[in-house]
Amino acid sequence: MSIDARLSLNTYKVYKENHISVNREKCATCIDKPCISCCPTGTYSWEKDDLIVSFEGCVECGTCEIVCPYKKILLSYPPAGHGIVYRYG
């Protein structure tokens, strides 16, 4: 099975509650804001003086937790049956 065919099998059910918590006070002091540039889905954006977290597009990869220099991003995985489901055939 080709990689394209396998990727088309990926499904998800959107979890309606925010599963990402951030410390916005620390975000305001962060110079590089690596969560914005490293997130593969663009979940994070900076508008005016606030970090916007669009958790609905999150693929739960955990990159944001790893790159946060202050370790102030916490990803709580959605309960079973919600979020990303990867299937390999």
Tokens 């739960």, residue located: 60
Q: What is the pLDDT of residue 49?
A: 84
Choose from 2-16, 32-46, 71-85 the range with maximum mean pLDDT: 32-46
User: For residue 55, what pLDDT band results from cuts at 50, 70 and 90?
Assistant: confident
- Decide if pLDDT at 6 tops 60: no
User: For residue 85, what pLDDT band results from cuts at 50, 70 and 90?
Assistant: low
Q: What is this structure's pTM?
A: 0.70
Query: In whole angstroms, how far apart are CA 17 and each of 20, 31, 40, 58?
Result: 9, 28, 20, 12
**Which is higher by pLDDT, 18 or 64?**
64
Q: What is the DSSP string of 9-65?
A: T-EEE--SS--EEE-HHHHHH-SS-HHHHH-TT--EEEETTEEEE-GGG-----HHH
CATH 3.10.180.10 fits 3-80, yes or no: no
